[in-house]
Chain A
Amino acid sequence: MKKKVVSCVLATVLTGCALQAGKPPPAPGSAVLGAGRGAAPYPSTYVIPQSPPTLIRNATVLTGTGARLDNADVLLAGGKIVAVGSKLTGPAGAAVVDATGRWVTPGVIDIHSHLGVYPVPGVQANADGNEATSPTTANVWAEHSVWPQDPGFRTALAGGITTLQILPGSANLFGGRSVVLKNVPSVTVEGMKFPGAAYGLKMACGENPKRVYGADKKQFPSTRMGNMAGYRAQWVEAQEYLRDQQEYQKKLASGAKDAKPPKRDLRLDTLAGALKGEIIVHMHCYRADEMAAVLDMSQEFGYHVAAFHHAAEAYKIADLLAAHDVCAAMWADWWGFKMEAYDGIPENMAFVDAAPGGCAIIHSDSDEGIQRLNQEVAKAMAYGARAGLPVAPERAIRWLTANPAKSLGLLDRVGTLEPGKMADVVVWSGTPFSVYAFADLVFIDGALRYDRAHPAVAPESDFLLGQPATAGLAP
């Protein structure tokens, strides 16, 4: 088995068969480093299943572009959104969903999940989320830890999650590469990978790295200044690595016979990718002052932070974040579970959204929270309104669709209901901003992946099969 995989990779290197029919194209930036499949040596094998065109009729539609359409229709075909409007007609053979009284939104996107890398059951044997053996593990890739049988993927699907970013944990300054998944059942993680999605780089500010290394292991870093020095030293190395790469390419181009490729380094591959903007930087950072320092650092080394995650104090610097075009990924009301979360307030999302150019994202970091991001947003809306910062549903929906899509570099493909985008769509039982709301139907690339009335549409994890303790429960 192992041998077979190796030979396949070799074949790919020799023939470039990653681009053959049935294989999705490699991620952008694949020409950069290494050979063969380049930056995409573990390509997506996700195949969009055949499904009939679907016409969703007479719904309240939140498009994710900021519009609300009442009594509107959405037509899906060929895995794409074909049309959004009124009085649409489907092609012959189209499945028709009467969504009278129901709401339709783009599929929900969670940019901060540890499903699969910290799966349930939370046994030690499956705790694969933090490579907490060194503060810099930019060489590890979350996809190599994802257990596709985590039952949490299915419960997230029942909450309308269609795309999710799986991140390494936050023990390290550089935790490693993230992976973006479509929330589809698969035996392998490759079968879930969002085709063509860029990688992310997980970084972490503050308490976690200094506790895990300084306090627990008595090693560097033990302070916030140590954290900063730790990042900067790595960026310096990455700049040198990049320079060596570029010099090599120059020599090759000039036909120099002695051109020798620099020694490849998995850690620096990732960091150099981030400096070039091909790998998207996602940074766990609670405090306003630390976020500001990180923004300075991003300018020192010339990279862009896509989003600060857990940005509990984003409301203190909403203007600064907007000026840097950085999103803040937040919880609705979590706070106080550690010192750097002590100043969290439930108006945080509304503040970030109110700043001109602000980009607010709801995120979960939790296998419970991911099941109801719609409700989390509803709470944030309520607190915002009470503070004089009302947010309409058609705008708030962007916090869980378009804005996370933007931070993943995928807004051209998902996050809104616009013709030509992937048909990732949720039909809700009513307004999604209610504790009583259910995702009734969830489509991914036009295929029905979850149907509340027919639970068998979404298969249960292998783990839960044949467990006597679940006898008497609907799957």
Chain B
Amino acid sequence: MRALGWILVALALPGQAAHGATVLIHDATVHTVSAAGVLEHADILIRDGRIAELGSAIGAAADATVIDAGGRPVTPGLFGGAGHLGIEEIGLEPTVDDYSLKLGSMRPEFDVTSAFNPESAVLGVARLGGVTFAQLAPSSEADAKGAGGSIISGQGALVRLDGAVTPMHALFVEMGGEANALSGSSRAAQLMLLQQALIEVHSPQLLLANDVRLLTPEGRRVLQGYLGGSGRVVFDVERAADIRQVIAFAQRAHLQAAIRGATEAWRVAAELAAAGLPVLLDPLDDLPQSFDTVGATLENAARLERAGVRIAFSFDDPQPHNIRKLRQAAGIAVAHGLPWEAALAALTRNPAQIFGVADRNGTIERGRLADLVLWSGDPLEVSTLADAVFIQGVQQPMRSRQTELRDRYLPKLRAHEAR
């Protein structure tokens, strides 16, 4: 009962979680991911959940706990991608997997946010890896009989890894060969179905009484909001030709669209830049996993960034358990030509902008939410770990179910070593 009450509080008061103590992070290398760039030997004063002061030699407030960073890097809290955080505790287990709707009809009103479990053990593991915000994303799945979901898989909120849910929502649409089973076995039907949905929203007068309808009244209401530009519509699409179709559709429908997956996006980089469409990509995609991704390359991120496309990182696999690995993927993008600063932006500022929380998250600036990570070294390096994590100003305990397991079995190992 108590847990339920807490969830309701978190839902009702996004961004209003209890404020932590006043903390001064002293002598850090602060990667602001803002116009201020990198501040060497800088101090950050965290008060009332926000970054109260930022600069050199800020005097410690009397009530402040001081953390000596000793020159270590501080970055904004990292993005964990768009996926199943808190809606998939473990894989392959229907009772704890809430990410897909198999009612067989198009339901843009399906919102996985109400299934979000802020007490999922997965959150703690990701938090220890420096992840402080993530986008909930449903997935559509066809069952063995080809029934199941629709190409509109539904909505999810942007959440913080202290369990808070923001009011910002995005809608997810699955396209391309992977979604053929959801669209009568042809990708050509995907835009056809979306076009019909548009007509149902915008031109109901064209519909006759007996016409087949895709949407429920609530679905029409929800879709209308997105068509009015009130939230991001994310298209999962890989092949260059399909991305072109989505660009054109998004312009026709006046959508605030984004492309996710986007393995061949580098081939249409100029068009994406011209259309102002941001891209969520998996930097590890370098193999032709399907005939939609023959042009896969580790240079996708670097080429898109060079062309002026706003990029953010998100694993193709929506499973949430290892989203802490996303910063390694960012480092790999750097190894393949992406500027280091752009890679950090793709984990911080860019996803905050794409999902509508850039006024609070994604950069280190005075007045922003204090979602920060202090790192043991280069945050994109595999040998680096998070030393301290702050979410909304609250220093997070560096404990998770994994550290509990580690510490239960460590004495047994020590005893054996000593024998």
Q: How far is the CB of B187 from chain A (nearest CB, A)?
A: 16
Looking at the complex, which of A46-54, A290-298, A372-380 is the stretch in contact with chain B?
A: A372-380
Q: How far is the CA of A433 from the CA of B115 in the complex (A)?
A: 39
Looking at the complex, which of A103-111, A246-254, A346-354 is the stretch in contact with chain B?
A: A346-354
Q: How far is the CA of A355 from the CA of B414 in the complex (A)?
A: 8
Q: How far is the CB of A218 from chain B (nearest CB, A)?
A: 14
Residues of A contacting B325 in the complex (Cβ-Cβ under 8 angstroms): 333
Is A443 interfacial (CB 8 A cutoff)? Answer: no
Looking at the complex, which of B4-12, B23-31, B192-200, B403-411 is the stretch in contact with chain A?
A: B403-411
B380 contacts A355, C-beta separation under 8 Å: no
A351 contacts B409, C-beta separation under 8 Å: yes
Is A387 interfacial (CB 8 A cutoff)? Answer: yes
Closest residue of B by beta carbon distance from A371:
B286
Q: How far is the CA of A344 from the CA of B406 in the complex (A)?
A: 10
Is A56 interfacial (CB 8 A cutoff)? Answer: no
Is B207 interfacial (CB 8 A cutoff)? Answer: no
Residue A315 contacts which of B267, B287, B381, B409 (CB distance < 8 angstroms)?
B409
B90 contacts A345, C-beta separation under 8 Å: no
Is A225 interfacial (CB 8 A cutoff)? Answer: no
Q: How far is the CB of B271 from chain A (nearest CB, A)?
A: 15
B284 contacts A355, C-beta separation under 8 Å: no
Residues of A contacting B93 in the complex (Cβ-Cβ under 8 angstroms): 338-339
Looking at the complex, which of B33-41, B291-299, B345-353 is the stretch in contact with chain A?
A: B291-299
Looking at the complex, which of B100-108, B273-281, B382-390 is the stretch in contact with chain A?
A: B382-390
Closest residue of A by beta carbon distance from B405:
A345
Give per-residue flags for A117-128: 1 if the beta carbon is below 8 A from chain B beta carbons, else 0.
Answer: 000111100000
Q: How far is the CA of A121 from the CA of B285 in the complex (A)?
A: 13
A347 contacts B406, C-beta separation under 8 Å: yes
Residue B290 contacts which of A123, A336, A346 (CB distance < 8 angstroms)?
A123
B385 contacts A386, C-beta separation under 8 Å: yes
Residues of B contacting A470 in the complex (Cβ-Cβ under 8 angstroms): 294-295
Residue A382 contacts which of B240, B290, B382, B409 (CB distance < 8 angstroms)?
B382
Residues of B contacting A379 in the complex (Cβ-Cβ under 8 angstroms): 328, 382-383
Q: How far is the CB of B323 from chain A (nearest CB, A)?
A: 11
B291 contacts A378, C-beta separation under 8 Å: no
Looking at the complex, which of A9-17, A168-176, A261-269, A461-469 is the stretch in contact with chain B?
A: A461-469
Residue B416 contacts which of A318, A338, A367 (CB distance < 8 angstroms)?
A318
Residues of A contacting B402 in the complex (Cβ-Cβ under 8 angstroms): 335, 344-346
Looking at the complex, which of B46-54, B246-254, B331-339, B363-371 is the stretch in contact with chain A?
A: B331-339
Is B209 interfacial (CB 8 A cutoff)? Answer: no
Closest residue of A by beta carbon distance from B241:
A469
A375 contacts B382, C-beta separation under 8 Å: yes
Is B211 interfacial (CB 8 A cutoff)? Answer: no
B383 contacts A434, C-beta separation under 8 Å: yes
A463 contacts B382, C-beta separation under 8 Å: no
Q: How far is the CB of B284 from chain A (nearest CB, A)?
A: 5
Is B114 interfacial (CB 8 A cutoff)? Answer: no
Q: Which residue of B286, B289, B413 has the most chain A CB atoms within 10 A of its CB atom?
A: B413
Residues of A contacting B319 in the complex (Cβ-Cβ under 8 angstroms): 336-337
A473 contacts B406, C-beta separation under 8 Å: no
B382 contacts A433, C-beta separation under 8 Å: yes
A436 contacts B331, C-beta separation under 8 Å: yes
Q: How far is the CB of B283 from chain A (nearest CB, A)?
A: 11
* Count of residues in B whose CB is under 8 Å from the partner chain: 49
Q: Which residue of B125, B294, B331, B419 has the most chain A CB atoms within 10 A of its CB atom?
A: B294
Given known pairs A337-B321, A354-B417, A356-B416, the reply for A467 and B383 (CB within 8 Å) is: no
Q: Which residue of B93, B331, B381, B402 has the most chain A CB atoms within 10 A of its CB atom?
A: B402
B382 contacts A319, C-beta separation under 8 Å: no
Closest residue of B by beta carbon distance from A386:
B385
Is A151 interfacial (CB 8 A cutoff)? Answer: yes
CB within 8 Å of A: which B74-96 residues:
89-93
Q: How far is the CA of A357 from the CA of B419 in the complex (A)?
A: 12
Give per-residue flags for B279-317: 1 if the beta carbon is below 8 A from chain A beta carbons, else 0.
Answer: 000001011111101110101000000000000000000
Is A116 interfacial (CB 8 A cutoff)? Answer: no
Residues of A contacting B291 in the complex (Cβ-Cβ under 8 angstroms): 121, 123
Is B122 interfacial (CB 8 A cutoff)? Answer: yes
Give per-residue flags for A449-462: 1 if the beta carbon is below 8 A from chain B beta carbons, else 0.
Answer: 00000000000000
Q: How far is the CA of A469 from the CA of B289 in the complex (A)?
A: 13
Residues of B contacting A464 in the complex (Cβ-Cβ under 8 angstroms): 288, 294
Residue A378 contacts which of B89, B383, B410, B412 (CB distance < 8 angstroms)?
B383
Q: How far is the CA of A152 from the CA of B90 in the complex (A)?
A: 28
Residues of B contacting A120 in the complex (Cβ-Cβ under 8 angstroms): 287-290
Residues of A contacting B413 in the complex (Cβ-Cβ under 8 angstroms): 315, 318-319, 351, 354-355
Is A438 interfacial (CB 8 A cutoff)? Answer: yes
Q: How far is the CA of A115 from the CA of B89 in the complex (A)?
A: 29
Is A343 interfacial (CB 8 A cutoff)? Answer: yes
Is A435 interfacial (CB 8 A cutoff)? Answer: yes
Is B185 interfacial (CB 8 A cutoff)? Answer: no
Is A406 interfacial (CB 8 A cutoff)? Answer: no
7 A-B pairs closest in CB distance: A435-B331, A336-B321, A469-B295, A469-B294, A378-B382, A319-B416, A337-B91
14 contacts between A and B (CB under 8 A): A151-B287, A335-B322, A336-B321, A337-B92, A355-B413, A356-B417, A372-B332, A379-B383, A386-B385, A433-B382, A434-B381, A436-B331, A469-B240, A473-B299
Beyond A318-B413, A335-B321, 12 additional contacts (C-beta under 8 Å) are: A120-B290, A122-B290, A333-B324, A335-B125, A345-B406, A379-B382, A382-B385, A435-B335, A437-B335, A467-B288, A469-B295, A473-B297
